[in-house]
Amino acid sequence: MEKRELSKDEIIGLIAEFKSEVRKNLAKIDFFNEKIEELTKLLGEAPEKTRKPYPLSKWDNVVLDVIRENGKPTTSKEIYDKAMAKAVAMGIAMDENKMKSKINQCLVKLSGRRTDLKKIKYGGRGFAYSL
| Residue-number span of the structural domain to which 33 is assigned | 7-50
Percentages (nearest 5) of helix, strand, coil residues in the chain: 65, 10, 30
Same domain, yes or no: 107 and 125? yes
Q: In whole angstroms, what is the distance from residue 41 CA to residue 47 CA?
A: 13
Count of structural domains within the chain: 2
Whether the pTM exceeds 0.85: the reply is no
pLDDT 10s digit of each residue in the chain, 131 long? 577 898 999 999 999 999 999 999 999 999 999 999 888 888 876 666 676 766 788 888 888 888 888 888 888 888 888 888 888 888 887 888 888 888 888 888 888 877 778 888 877 777 778 88
Same domain, yes or no: 40 and 94? no
Across the chain, where does the E strand assignment appear? 74-75, 118-121, 127-130
Residue 1 CA to chain centroid, in angstroms?
Answer: 48
Same domain, yes or no: 17 and 67? no
Q: What angle do CA 103, 105, 109 make, to 5 degrees?
A: 115
Report the CATH number that the domain containing residue 91 is assigned in CATH.
1.10.10.10
Question: How distant, in Å, are the alpha carbons of 43, 46, 55, 68, 96 from that of 84?
Answer: 51, 46, 21, 16, 8
Asked whether residue 81 is assigned to any structural domain, the reply reads yes
CB distance 73 to 128 below 8 Å: yes
Asked whether residue 1 is assigned to any structural domain, the reply reads no
Same domain, yes or no: 122 and 65? yes
Say what the pLDDT of residue 66 is: 85
Asked whether residue 2 is assigned to any structural domain, the reply reads no
Say what the pLDDT of residue 49 is: 67
**Which residues are CB-contacts of 68 (< 8 A; sequence separation ≥ 6)?**
131
Say what the pLDDT of residue 112 is: 80
Say what the pLDDT of residue 47 is: 65
Say what the pLDDT of residue 45 is: 66
Say what the pLDDT of residue 87 is: 82
